[in-house]
Chain A
């Protein structure tokens, strides 16, 4: 049960952003590269200094210790980094079901990160993030480097997670179909976030 509300959030030179995402709701964001999508997600995850207010279930960001905030508001960057050699060193309680959904087995935990492909790393990073059971998901193009079949599996996993956990999801994507499946689609235009109306 998570509701994320963003009020006059301002990062560097971007215009203030107002946004509301309800529990179990998924909204998508799009816009040309460099328009501030990533900066917006990073600010919501409290990784960069910013002005304005972000609230989770009406509790302000600053009233929640930063590590706890980031576990509850999970951010998946476009290219997630790995800091140890083995995949398994990054997981506490790997969920075999989720691994299966994305086409992995728990044997993958023994693999070396440096031998994985970009797409494999991206999917495993999503599994790593979901291990925290975040209430909000901030996803920066989670299917960008994936083939059709893998992309559908990732969408399926995120969709199931959203409904079961009643998580709020902000999803940056350029995929038309993903926009259509979301509750709302916002678009950055001239530094401003606009609600995209379907004709």
Chain B
């Protein structure tokens, strides 16, 4: 099997479908045509640029440029995490929680995969590092964002019962246990669903891609299993870190609940 190359004409047919959808939305006054157009244009532009950037980076294989690209990816992911919070932390920790938790989880899991499992040489070979890290970051971002949102929303809503426990002399960890547990569960639900549905309801994107690119299905399945496991580990590690750092920041050195460290929702 050989990779079937796509022509601009092929992409135009697919784009026409999106345009049709936009027209339908306009006709039925659903009001999503503008957002649809922006999202479609944005994804085409971003992916096109990524293709170009990767082409250069793959050709050079320079550790410094690769490092800068991974840093950029980490910052964008952290920004997205912050942006999805209804109540975020004031100041440094607004973005710091995401940076710290995703660095500790996604980067270490990717490193493990490169060094121990795939044994890529050199370990920073961008053909492996960038797509792997991208998958870790993209999924961990969702998990961390959901966990933090649940943590801070619940802490805000359950202020009275947290403080009731503090008043009676419980320490902060006891007072926030239940909320922490819920936050972790919330963060892990998407990956648990994805693992349950994988291969039965949906064929995961990466496996689809590999099969289209000509890999034998069983090899593609093995890679997909590896990725699912790595991604769940990364999400779990990232969410646990974010919840631990985040909940600790909700209390001060005298174990007072400090909701003033959270911003108000914008709307």
* A-B complex is real: yes
B164 in the interface (beta carbon within 8 A): yes
- Cα–Cα, bound, A49→B171 (Å): 17
Find residues 34-79 in chain A having any chain B CB closer than 8 Å to their own CB.
45-49, 62, 66-68, 70-71, 74-75, 77, 79
Is A77 a contact partner of B167 (Cβ separation < 8 A)?
yes
Closest chain A CB from B242 CB (angstroms): 24
Is B163 a contact partner of A67 (Cβ separation < 8 A)?
no
Residue of A nearest to B158 (CB): A83
Identify which of B57-65, B97-105, B110-118, B252-260 touches chain A. Answer: B252-260
B160 in the interface (beta carbon within 8 A): yes
**Cβ–Cβ < 8 Å partners of B54 in chain A:** none
Closest chain A CB from B43 CB (angstroms): 45
Central interface residue in B163, B167, B254, B255, by most chain A CB within 10 Å: B167
Size bracket, chain B contacts: 20 to 34
Residue of A nearest to B168 (CB): A132
**Cβ–Cβ < 8 Å partners of A62 in chain B:** 254
- Cα–Cα, bound, A129→B162 (Å): 15
Q: Known interface pairs A82-B161, A83-B161. Does A66 touch B167 (Cβ–Cβ under 8 Å)?
A: no
Partner of B169, one of A48, A49, A70, A80: A70
Q: Known interface pairs A47-B163, A81-B161. Does A128 touch B168 (Cβ–Cβ under 8 Å)?
A: yes
Central interface residue in B163, B169, B252, by most chain A CB within 10 Å: B169
B170 in the interface (beta carbon within 8 A): yes
Residue of B nearest to A48 (CB): B256
**Cβ–Cβ < 8 Å partners of B252 in chain A:** 49
Chain A residues within CB distance 8 Å of chain B:
45-49, 62, 66-68, 70-71, 74-75, 77, 79-83, 128-129, 132
**14 chain-A/chain-B pairs, Cβ below 8 angstroms:** A47-B256, A47-B257, A49-B252, A62-B254, A66-B166, A67-B169, A67-B170, A67-B255, A68-B169, A70-B167, A74-B168, A83-B158, A83-B161, A132-B169
